[in-house]
Every structure is written in C-alpha cells, then in structure tokens.
Amino acid sequence: MSYLKAAEYVLSKIKYSPEIAVVLGTGMGELADSLENKTVIPYAEIPGFPPIGKNHHKCRMVIGGLDGKPVVFMQGRLHYYEGYSMAETAFPIHMLKAMGIEKIILTNASGAVNTDYAPGDIVIINDHVKLCAESPLRGENPEELGERFFDMANAYDKGLIDLCEKCAADIGMDLPKGVYAFMAGPQFETPAEIRMLKILGADLVGMSTVPEVIAAAHCGVRILALSGVSNMAAGLSGGGLNREAIVSAEPIIRNKLFMLLDKIIGELI
C-alpha cells in the first residue's frame, strides 16, 4: 500500500515517533513555525503522496517539538475541489495512522451559518452534514485499516472535545460546539443553499475536513476538529465572499489557535 511506503519514508527522516498530528487549515500554516528542532518534508518528496499541483498552501510536513513534545504539523491539505479524488484527500490520514499517530487535530476555516457566531470565533466541531455523495472509502476496503461498515457516532471524539473545553476554559476561552456542513466547492454557496443547511442543522460550512474525519473514524484515529470562522455565509448580514472580513479574521484565529493547541498538546503528551 502506498500510504505504508509514505509512512516508512517519513519515519526514516526523524528520530522519534510522534503520537499527535495537527492539520493546519487555510490561513493557519504559520502555526508550524513555532516548532523546535524542525524537520521539514515537502509532500512532493513523500513516495506515493498524491501529486501536488498549484496550491496556495506550503504543502509540507513540519515535525518537531512544541514545548519539548513531539508533534506533526501538516501545512496544507488535499481538497476535493482541486481535482483530487475523495480517496486521495484521505491519503494523509492513512499515512499518519501508519506512522503510529493516535490523535489528530484538524483545523479549518469556515463560513458561519449560525448567526450567533462571528468572524474570529473558534468552534469545536461535534458532528457534520455531508451532502456530497462520494465517500473516501468507496471501493475495495483496506481490511488492515478497518472494517467495511463502521460507526460514525463518535467520529468527533467526545473525550478530546471534553479536554478541549477544559483547556479553553483554563486560558479564558469559551468555545461553542457546532455542526459542520461539507460542500464540494470550489464555488461558495448560494443564499438558498445556506438556508437549506440551516434547516438541516448546520452551524458552519466549508470545503474540507469531513473526508479526513471519515477516514480517521474507519481506522480508529481519535479526532478533534476546530473551525475558525472567517466570514458569515452567503445571504447573512455581511455574508458571502467578504475578503476584508476573511483577511481581518485570520490573525485573530491564528492567535487563539496557537494558545489553544499549545495547551491541548501539553495535556495530551
């Protein structure tokens, strides 16, 4: 399996086996700069990794210490809207699993469907709505990773959510929990689609994360997912593709996430 070769290659480049990985979403790549004694591995160098085309992310693994604790940061992810198959978007999760990673923190930028949210907020994702029919596990089942049919009820690990809430409270943050709606993109949603998502119970909308969560649930990796609200969704006050709001929200989200991740990783290791 190609993900096994990928994992073997990455492990050959480092002197330890980290147990925690963080996937950094849009605008969050700078968080990896804080790692100590970094080993940087571009995705393009990893055997079997889906080919990287033009991408606004750095597209690399940064492995090092956060307050002396080993962690993997993934700077950039593979999106379905870029032309990757659903299976390819899940490849990094399978690679991390083969590396011995037991817990993954997924981060993303999203649009707020819930009008109680505002740009700059951090939301703990506790469930999702997936309207794109294709699954990253469609086709032959890799039995070494998990069973053909599997439960999604605890895909967003309740223990990690409880820990995240405790860590947030310790540093003076009160984080809401919400449902994330996955839309294929790359176009932003219409106001009618946002009204539909609100009826379906969604609080956030974005174009990533869910394929990774499905792959992780299948192979037994514990997931914590954190979403930074970059803008209000289409049809809401100030909603839609509001570049000014998105740009101004990014540093606020980064600063909050840095403090939160530092606290959470310190508790996990």
* Mean pLDDT in consecutive groups of 10 residues from the start of the chain, 269 residues: 92 90 82 85 94 74 86 92 93 96 96 96 97 91 90 96 97 96 94 97 97 97 97 88 79 91 88
Residue 166's domain is classified under what CATH number?
Answer: 3.40.50.1580
Single out the residue of 133, 114, 79, 109 nearest to residue 194, CA to CA. 114
Domain count, the chain: 1
Q: Which amino acid is present at 128?
A: H
Please tell me the predicted confidence (pLDDT) of residue 22. Answer: 95
**Considering only CA atoms, which of 19, 96, 31 is closest in space to residue 57?**
31
Which pLDDT score, from 0 to 100, does residue 57 have? 63
Domain membership of residue 86 as a residue range: 2-268
Secondary structure of the chain: what % helix, strand, coil (to 5)? 35, 25, 40
Taking the complete model, does pTM exceed 0.85, yes or no? Answer: yes
How many angstroms separate the CA atoms of 40 and 231, rounded? Answer: 31
- Position 110 scores a pLDDT of 95
